[in-house]
């Protein structure tokens, strides 16, 4: 746990995932409110004990759903049912006598979702949530009567509670941050099978995650492709893949080191999670584009749903195939003293989680903002613990491919892990992108 340095770095952390420039004063303040809260959720994601990519993705899926449902009264029948995403959920109706204030509903919804999903957040993070809520509450009181605000706040709060209640019926996903390691789990044994590291003997991370309830995919259709027969012979796919990892790292070029560290996000307490990285990227896109409220909510919803289902498909395949990491193979075949740039994660190698998250998010963002979207990723600007200098990209696909390659450069994945992660992620992202959230298409706005 890296919470001891929290009070020293918290203030500077607030700006790390922000827009490069403040949202224009004449723009829709609702967008600013939403981005403010998602910036905060990235802080909660970073500092809350037990948050890793899979359960982080799940939280963002439900946060996006709750936000959409809490804003439903603002759309006057233009919002489709979400029954295909959360079967059996009954959308609440706004029964207030005053006009509906969507900003008040969203502010209350996000506050409640934080309190429900981040029980392990440090006191400083909780206090920041209250400060953020009060900031927007005070802003709203300058523009609306207290009675108007209270009715909408009550509605947003009620929606958040109802969405959380729905989520709690998934026994494998619910409050998983309290038990992310399974000391009783017995994985497969034999040649090429992943085992707990002798050097860093951490129990397997979330080996049950393949049993978590997905939003939109049929898990039977999203199992990674079968692996080739395991071999240590020269010329085999394993031998070639491990040799590539070894060669790239010997020595690791400046560019490869930058790419590896830029995309890592694998250090609890130091950064947000690899799945949440794409929320940071979305924040920057929203700040730049200032899309309509509908498109903003749709962006975060589809992104969260895609990340959640990508995590389930990935972790299900990881423990199904249980492939050892390149580090283990390299020690056996090439060099027993070789080490990756960062630590090897404590779960199987195939397919790559980073790759599947990036591909899923890439499909969603491309469907909404175009195939040739240029941006500079400022997610880690100003960090000096690792190489977080911003990098420029010409499309979301370029980002997804570099993100996948970074795992080879880091030394923790074979190329086949990354290629299969990309393939699966693109499929999940296409399903998320195809969801008809609104009756009108806002992708071109």
Residue 78: pLDDT over 50: yes
Question: pLDDT higher for 238 or 91?
Answer: 238
Which residue has better confidence, 85 or 111?
Answer: 111
Domains assigned to the chain: 6-167 (1.20.144.10), 186-433 (1.10.606.20)
Convert the pLDDT of each residue in 342-354 to its tens digit. Answer: 999 999 999 999 9
What is the average per-residue pLDDT within 14-34?
Answer: 60
pLDDT tens digits, residue range 188-197? 889 999 998 7
pLDDT at 149: 96
Q: In terms of pLDDT, which residue wins out, 14 or 303?
A: 303
The tens digit of pLDDT for each residue in 213-226 reads 999 999 999 999 99
Tens of pLDDT, residue by residue over 134-162, are: 999 999 999 999 999 999 999 999 999 99
Poorest-pLDDT segment among 30-44, 177-191, 275-289 = 177-191
Backbone CA torsion sign across 59, 65, 304, 107 = negative
Say if residue 6's pLDDT is above 70: no
Quick one: pLDDT band at residue 81, thresholds 50, 70, 90?
Answer: confident
361 or 343, which is more confident?
361
pLDDT value of residue 2: 33
pLDDT at 108 over 90: yes
Give the per-residue pLDDT at 131. Answer: 98
Given a cut of 90, is residue 175 above it in pLDDT? yes
Task: Work out the mean pLDDT of the chain and round it to a whole number.
Answer: 93
Flag whether pLDDT at 376 surpasses 80.
yes
């Amino acid at each position: 746990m890296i919470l001891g340095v929290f009070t020293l770095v918290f203030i500077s952390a607030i700006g790390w995932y922000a827009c490069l420039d403040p949202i224009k004063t004449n723009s829709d303040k609702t967008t600013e409110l939403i981005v403010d809260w998602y910036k905060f959720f990235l802080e909660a994601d970073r500092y809350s004990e037990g948050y890793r990519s899979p359960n982080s993705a799940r939280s963002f899926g439900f946060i996006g759903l709750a936000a959409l449902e809490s804003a439903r009264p603002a759309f006057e029948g233009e919002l489709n049912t979400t029954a295909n995403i959360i079967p059996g959920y009954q959308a609440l109706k706004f029964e207030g006598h005053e006009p509906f204030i969507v900003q008040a509903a969203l502010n209350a919804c996000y506050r409640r979702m934080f309190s429900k999903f981040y029980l392990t957040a440090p006191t400083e993070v909780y206090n920041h949530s209250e400060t953020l809520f009060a900031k927007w509450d005070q802003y709203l009181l300058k523009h609306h009567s207290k009675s108007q605000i209270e009715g909408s706040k009550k509605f947003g709060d009620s929606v958040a509670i109802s969405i959380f209640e729905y989520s709690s019926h998934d026994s494998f996903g619910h409050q998983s941050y309290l038990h992310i390691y399974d000391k009783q789990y017995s994985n497969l044994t034999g040649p090429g099978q992943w085992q707990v590291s002798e050097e860093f003997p951490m129990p397997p991370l979330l080996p049950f995650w393949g049993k978590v309830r997905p939003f939109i995919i049929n898990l039977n259709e999203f199992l990674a492709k079968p692996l080739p027969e395991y071999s240590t012979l020269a010329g085999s796919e394993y031998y070639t893949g491990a040799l590539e990892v070894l060669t790239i790292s010997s020595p690791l070029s400046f560019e490869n080191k930058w790419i590896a560290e830029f995309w890592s996000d694998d250090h609890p307490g130091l950064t947000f999670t690899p799945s949440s990285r794409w929320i940071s990227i979305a924040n920057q896109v929203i700040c730049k584009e200032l899309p309509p409220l509908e498109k903003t909510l749709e962006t975060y919803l589809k992104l969260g749903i895609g990340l959640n289902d990508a995590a389930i498909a990935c972790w299900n395949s990881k423990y199904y195939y249980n492939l050892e990491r390149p580090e283990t193979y390299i020690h056996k075949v090439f060099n027993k003293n070789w080490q990756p740039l960062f630590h090897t994660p404590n779960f199987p190698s195939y397919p790559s989680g980073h790759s599947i998250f990036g591909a899923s998010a890439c499909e969603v963002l491309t469907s909404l903002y175009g195939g040739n979207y240029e941006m500079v990723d400022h997610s880690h600007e100003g960090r000096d613990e690792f190489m977080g200098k911003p990098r420029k990209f010409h499309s979301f696909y370029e980002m997804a491919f570099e993100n996948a390659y970074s795992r080879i450069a880091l030394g923790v994945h074979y190329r086949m892990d990354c290629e299969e992660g990309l393939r699966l992620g693109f499929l999940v992202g296409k399903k998320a992108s195809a969801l008809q959230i609104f009756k009108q298409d806002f992708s071109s706005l």
